[in-house]
Copies of this chain bind each other. A is one copy, B any other.
Amino acid sequence: MSEGPHVAARMDDIAPFHVMDILARAQAMEAAGRDIIHLEIGEPDFVTPAPVVEAGVAALRAGHTHYTGALGLPALREAIARFHATRWQATVDPAQVVVTPGASGALLLALGLLSGPGDEVLMADPGYPCNRHFARFCEARPVSVPVDAATGFQLTLDLIDRHATPATRAVLVASPSNPTGTAIAPGELERIHAWCAARGIALIVDEIYLALTYDGGEHTAARWDDVFVVNSFSKYFLMTGWRLGWLVAPRWAMPALERLAQNLFLAAPTPAQHAALAAFAPSALALFEACKAELRTRRDFLLPALRDRGFAIPVTPHGAFYVYAECSRFTSDSQDFARRLLEQAGVAVTPGIDFGRHGGDRHVRFAYTQPLPRLAEAMNRLDQFLQT
């Protein structure tokens, strides 16, 4: 007689993305003929630029369809290291670079290496929801530290010190942050780094939006050689669907990371790795910079437009392509607000509850991943929606 299927306890803690419900409903409405403005998905609307696509095409036709080594193509690891030097003046040894299946793969490698049962990983709430799920998948305890406008929605040394316990194994910082677009102050990160280093606690810095910083400098944590730095070809490099990212790791960690990568992934996708080699050419970088300029223009339109309409955005988002807007003037239930905004106005946004438990019900995230005329139309629809 069957006792029924057993499911691992972790599954109770791995939540779905509420935005997927919004997306599914939006797509159903579109199929029924409604015009929907998609501001819900964390993905640029730009397709991968031609130089990168054509490098992928050339690689495929040249028969580059076999596995690469688990750490990635040597030429790509070198190009990534050079990019850290030329763009960010950080010295990275190619031997410290792991090419991964998206930043997702990099986060799984880092947390799989560093955390297990009984261990704690500190991270900001609100934050990228997968982070706490990666830690939970590894049977570690994600410790979500509430952050707000007072600290630019970032961890501080004081917050870390107050939430750390003897079980703390890693501190995860994302800068600029998803969903808030806010960056951590370089001095604060430096203090956090010193604090972690003194305690043998690993510092993981998610820099997937670093190259999409619109104001102020782009400060990479890879300038320190004992930090785990996660990055991606998805955002600045516009290669989301290719599934390619990287991890810069301390030298001591590389043999273990290689073993993990061999076993968990075998390797990152080969056509994507060859295509990414073309992403560092000056002509390709010029295209990425043009898209970045367009994103900045959109931010400069959307930010005051939302503030004018009564959304509270106390900290200017300096990077990424998100505005995390407090909507408590209109609702105390962000999921309901997002649903009604979609149904009544045809504007899809992400409810804040996807990003944690701290104030998520009073925030929604607008992703400025649509052209300016569509953003303007979204604001018109928002006006009508808020008047009804």
Contacts and interface: CB of A to CB of B under 8 A. Distances in A.
Interface in A50-99: 53, 56-57, 60-61, 63-68, 70
A355 to B, nearest CB: 14
Interface string A9-49: 11100111100100000000000000000000101000110
Interface in A336-380: none
29 contacts: A2-B200, A3-B200, A7-B113, A7-B114, A7-B256, A8-B113, A8-B114, A8-B115, A8-B116, A11-B259, A14-B256, A14-B260, A16-B259, A47-B66, A56-B271, A57-B60, A66-B241, A67-B240, A68-B241, A104-B264, A104-B266, A116-B139, A117-B117, A129-B263, A130-B262, A139-B139, A242-B271, A269-B269, A271-B271
Contacts of A210: none
Contacts of A11: 113, 256, 259-260
Given A6-B202, A15-B259, A67-B240, 17 more contacts: A2-B200, A6-B114, A11-B260, A14-B259, A17-B262, A41-B67, A53-B61, A66-B241, A102-B266, A104-B266, A117-B139, A133-B264, A134-B263, A241-B269, A242-B269, A243-B270, A269-B269
A7 to B, nearest CB: 6
Interface in A246-260: 250, 252-253, 255-256, 258-260
Nearest to A70: B20
Interface residues of A, number: 82
A356 to B, nearest CB: 14
Nearest to A265: B104
Contacts of A67: 41, 43, 240-241
Contacts of A102: 265-266
A221 interface: no
Contact of A199 (B3, B43, B66): B3
A322 interface: no
Interface of A: 1-11, 14-17, 20, 41, 43, 47-48, 53, 56-57, 60-61, 63-68, 70, 101-102, 104, 108, 112-117, 119, 129-130, 133-134, 137-139, 169, 197-202, 238-243, 250, 252-253, 255-256, 258-260, 262-272
Minimum-distance CB pairs A-B, first 3: A241-B270, A3-B200, A8-B116
Nearest to A64: B241
Contacts of A113: 7-8, 11
Contacts of A6: 114, 119, 169, 200-202
